[in-house]
């Protein structure tokens, strides 16, 4: 029996249409795109440009403002380290939030060890940050603000438009980790300087991502090598993955997100009498539910349903740790709520039939564990 995949905030399956676009770039068009003295390299340049254009269209930027990386983790590292290295003479303070992905938080922690000051702004109980709180955290030393577009555990959408305006007014570089927002909600880089995105969250291959760098914004590289990507991110082009990421970007559709939203709300309605939602009900990305299952240990529940459902306790990065989710705690809840919360992530390939199955498996499992 097929195990129903309900962990689309962790990763997504590669869309067959994406895979088909990628295949010729392994054994036929296998050249090094920087070896442009012959056709093997030369023929790839238009393909790479086309992928940049497809990605750029989703966030309303120009194709040459997109550089390729190995994923959002690297994009986040590059955005933060690269900005700090560029601007360290100007100030030593960073504003971010307490609900960021580990690839932001752990970079910030490293910078604290190196003498930088970081303010971690917390959201309210609904999991949404207030732009005024970001504004209040700014000092005359602030050189960078980094706030995610949408949270990967509880799905809440953050006010990056307003924060971008504040940052621009103050002349501070604004970066957003939009790995979860990309392709799920309408995004526009207006007032944003740097944006991290990832292919495998939108039905593209793993190990490829991008950083939007607004024209005129300067950052230093964190790795050194050849001349690729304006020397900001050297390394031989991962052409199959770039082509796949481009195709995946072509396929993102807000209309499809409406369908996913309906499925998600339907599922929540049917579960709501047994659970409590973490994060705002309306201000969240389609597909995400993070549910507090009172008096039930989340690991026990995941284990109980694992032969029919793939759900998680939070982010993939946290799943093998025994520490409670930093996101649930940042909402002001106790360890107990963090240890009893599960994440469900529906996606493009989730069917109505599967939703019925999820309900029919989860509710009895919750009842069983509560009666133990």
Which residues are identified as catalytic? 317
Backbone angles phi, psi at 206, to 5 degrees: -80, 160
Torsion angle (degrees, nearest 10) of CA 151, 152, 156, 161: 40
Of the residues 73, 249, 278, 350, which one makes contact with ligand PLP according to CB under 6 A: 73
54 vs 75 by CB, closer to ligand PLP: 75
Site string for ligand PLP, 237-266 (x = CB under 6 A): ------------------------------
DSSP 200: G
- Min dist. Cβ of residue 83 to ligand PLP (A): 17
- CB atoms closer than 10 angstroms to residue 307: 9
Spatial neighbors of 122 by CB under 8 A, at least 6 apart, are: 97, 98, 99, 129, 133, 330, 332
Is 295 exposed, middle or buried (CB count within 10 Å of its CB: 0-12, 13-18, 19+)?
exposed
92 vs 199 by CB, closer to ligand PLP: 199
- Min dist. Cβ of residue 178 to ligand PLP (A): 8
71 vs 324 by CB, closer to ligand PLP: 71
Of the residues 87, 108, 111, 179, which one makes contact with ligand PLP according to CB under 6 A: 179
Annotate 43-108 with DSSP letters as a single string: TTHHHHHHHHHHHHHHHT--GGGEEEESSHHHHHHHHHHHHHHHHTTT--EEEEETTS-HHHHHHH
Does position 183 bind ligand PLP by CB under 6 A?
Answer: no
Residue whose C-beta lies closest to ligand PLP: 71
Stretch that binds ligand PLP, among 29-37, 91-99, 197-205, 218-226 (CB under 6 A): 197-205
Size of the site for ligand PLP (CB under 6 A): 14
Of the residues 14, 129, 148, 366, which one makes contact with ligand PLP according to CB under 6 A: 148
**Contact of 278 with 328, CB cutoff 8 Å:** yes
Of the residues 14, 66, 72, 192, which one makes contact with ligand PLP according to CB under 6 A: 72
Residue (of 69, 275, 37) closest to 179 by Cα position:
69
DSSP 26: H
Binding positions for ligand PLP, 297-336, rule CB under 6 A = none
- Min dist. Cβ of residue 79 to ligand PLP (A): 11
Give the C-alpha separation, 347 to 184, whole Å. 10
Does position 209 bind ligand PLP by CB under 6 A?
Answer: yes
Does position 55 bind ligand PLP by CB under 6 A?
Answer: no
First to last CA, the chain: 27
Of the residues 21, 33, 71, 203, which one makes contact with ligand PLP according to CB under 6 A: 71
Does position 180 bind ligand PLP by CB under 6 A?
Answer: yes
Q: Which two tokens stand for residue 269?
A: 């309605």
280 vs 297 by CB, closer to ligand PLP: 280
Give the C-alpha separation, 56 to 284, whole Å. 23
Does position 152 bind ligand PLP by CB under 6 A?
Answer: yes
Judged by phi (left if over 0) then psi (alpha if -120 to 50, else beta), residue 16 lies in: alpha
Site string for ligand PLP, 89-128 (x = CB under 6 A): ------------x-x-------------------------
- CB atoms closer than 10 angstroms to residue 355: 19
**Contact of 222 with 234, CB cutoff 8 Å:** no
- Min dist. Cβ of residue 209 to ligand PLP (A): 5
Stretch that binds ligand PLP, among 66-74, 112-120, 224-232, 270-278 (CB under 6 A): 66-74
Q: State CA 103 to chain mean position distance.
A: 10
- Min dist. Cβ of residue 364 to ligand PLP (A): 31
- Min dist. Cβ of residue 207 to ligand PLP (A): 8
Stretch that binds ligand PLP, among 68-76, 125-133, 342-350, 353-361 (CB under 6 A): 68-76
Tell me how far CA of residue 215 lies from CA of 7, 61, 147, 167, 189, in angstroms: 36, 10, 20, 16, 11
| Binding stretches for ligand PLP (CB under 6 A) | 71-73, 101, 103, 148, 152, 177, 179-180, 198, 200-201, 209
């Amino acid at each position: 029996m097929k195990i129903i995949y309900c962990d689309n905030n962790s990763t997504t399956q590669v869309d067959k249409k994406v895979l088909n676009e990628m295949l010729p770039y392994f054994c036929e068009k296998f050249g090094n795109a920087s070896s442009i003295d012959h056709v093997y390299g030369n023929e790839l340049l238009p393909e790479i440009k086309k992928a940049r254009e497809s990605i750029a269209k989703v966030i309303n930027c120009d194709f040459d403002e997109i550089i390729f990386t190995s994923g959002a983790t690297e994009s986040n590292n590059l955005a933060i380290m690269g900005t700090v290295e560029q601007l360290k003479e100007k100030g030593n303070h960073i504003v971010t939030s307490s609900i960021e992905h580990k690839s932001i938080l752990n970079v910030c922690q490293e910078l604290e060890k190196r003498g930088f000051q970081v303010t971690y702004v917390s959201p309210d109980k609904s999991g949404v940050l207030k732009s005024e709180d970001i504004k209040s955290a700014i000092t005359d030393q602030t050189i960078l603000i980094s706030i995610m577009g949408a949270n990967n555990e509880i799905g809440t959408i953050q006010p990056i438009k307003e924060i971008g305006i504040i940052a621009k007014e103050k002349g501070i570089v604004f970066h957003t980790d939009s790995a979860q927002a990309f392709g799920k909600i309408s995004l526009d880089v207006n007032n944003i300087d740097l944006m991290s995105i990832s292919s495998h969250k939108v039905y593209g291959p793993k190990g490829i991502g991008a950083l939007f760098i607004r024209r005129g914004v300067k950052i230093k590289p964190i790795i050194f090598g050849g001349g690729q990507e304006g020397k900001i991110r050297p390394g031989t082009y991962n052409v199959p993955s770039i082509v796949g990421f481009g195709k995946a970007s072509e396929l993102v559709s807000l209309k499809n997100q409406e369908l996913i939203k309906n499925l998600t709300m339907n599922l929540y309605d049917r579960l709501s009498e047994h659970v409590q939602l973490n994060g705002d009900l309306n201000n969240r990305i389609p597909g995400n539910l993070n549910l507090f299952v009172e008096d039930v240990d989340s690991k026990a529940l995941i284990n109980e349903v694992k032969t029919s459902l793939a759900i998680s306790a939070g982010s993939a990065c946290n799943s093998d740790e025994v520490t409670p989710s930093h996101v649930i705690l940042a909402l002001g809840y106790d360890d107990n709520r963090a240890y009893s919360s599960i994440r469900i992530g529906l996606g493009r390939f989730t069917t109505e039939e599967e939703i019925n199955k999820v309900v029919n498996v989860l509710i009895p499992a919750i009842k069983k564990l509560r009666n133990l």
